[in-house]
Chain A
Amino acid sequence: GQQVMQIPQYQHVQEGEDFTTYCNSSTTLSNIQWYKQRPGGHPVFLIQLVKSGEVKKQKRLTFQFGEAKKNSSLHITATQTTDVGTYFCAGGTDTDKLIFGTGTRLQVFP
Chain B
Amino acid sequence: IAGITQAPTSQILAAGRRMTLRCTQDMRHNAMYWYRQDLGLGLRLIHYSNTAGTTGKGEVPDGYSVSRANTDDFPLTLASAVPSQTSVYFCASSVRPAGAYNEQFFGPGTRLTVL
Interface of A is mostly: loop
Given contacts A43-B106, A88-B43, A100-B43, contact A93 B90 (CB under 8 A): no
Top 9 closest pairs, chain A to chain B, by CB: A96-B97, A96-B99, A100-B43, A45-B103, A102-B42, A42-B106, A92-B99, A98-B98, A97-B99
**A96 neighbours in B (Cβ, 8 Å):** 50, 97-100
Which residue in A9, A45, A97, A101 is a CB contact (below 8 Å) of B97?
A97
* Least CB separation from B111: chain A residue: A40
Would you mind naming 7 contact pairs between A and B with Cβ atoms under 8 Å apart?
A1-B59, A6-B42, A43-B43, A43-B92, A45-B103, A48-B101, A102-B41
Within residues 33 to 54 of chain A, which ones have a CB less than 8 A from any CB in chain B?
A: 33, 35, 41-45, 48, 50
Let me know if B53 is at the binding interface, CB within 8 A: no
A47 to B106, CA, bound (A): 15
- Interface size class for chain A? 20 to 34
Let me know if A95 is at the binding interface, CB within 8 A: yes
**B50 neighbours in A (Cβ, 8 Å):** 96
